[in-house]
Amino acid sequence: MEENKKVKSDSYRIDFGNEESGISTKNLITDILNGNIFNRDFFVSQLNYIFFLTFLAILLIGNRYHAENLIRNIAKSEKELKNLQSEAIATSSELINWKNQANVYYLVKKNNLGLKPLTVQPKKLILDD
């Protein structure tokens, strides 16, 4: 029963810093801070995996940014749609008001167009096929 905290594999070795190896956790922290950790065999052998994780993190950040922009654009479009709906309702009510026969007669008289209202009923045209 050895209490050796070393993990061995074919291509790399993880050293957890026990007394037998001579590397303490204090040295491990120093290696991380000064950048010597990047020279270790374990780190170098895992570079592909680290690059893959970095690529996924960049994709995740880009996806979140794109989603936030879409949400902002949707909110802006909804606000614009509400404004246009209220404007359409106001315009249609104004149009209904102007279509009233009394208003049409008033506008024709005011602008001196020389039009007069019908005194006889209109005739219906029937076309033979």
Q: pLDDT per residue over 15-37, tens digit each?
A: 554 445 555 677 778 878 887 77
Q: Report the pLDDT value the prediction gives residue 8, as an integer from 0 to 100.
A: 47
What pLDDT score does 91 carry?
93
**pLDDT confidence of residue 23:** 56
| pTM (2 d.p.) | 0.48
Which residues does 18 contact at the CB level (< 8 Å), separation at least 6?
4, 5, 6
pLDDT along the chain (129 residues), means of 10: 47 51 70 79 84 97 97 97 95 86 84 84 86
CA dist list (Å): 123 to 53, 68, 117, 118, 129: 83, 64, 15, 12, 19
What is the distance between the alpha carbons of residues 78 and 70, in angstroms, rounded to a whole number? 12
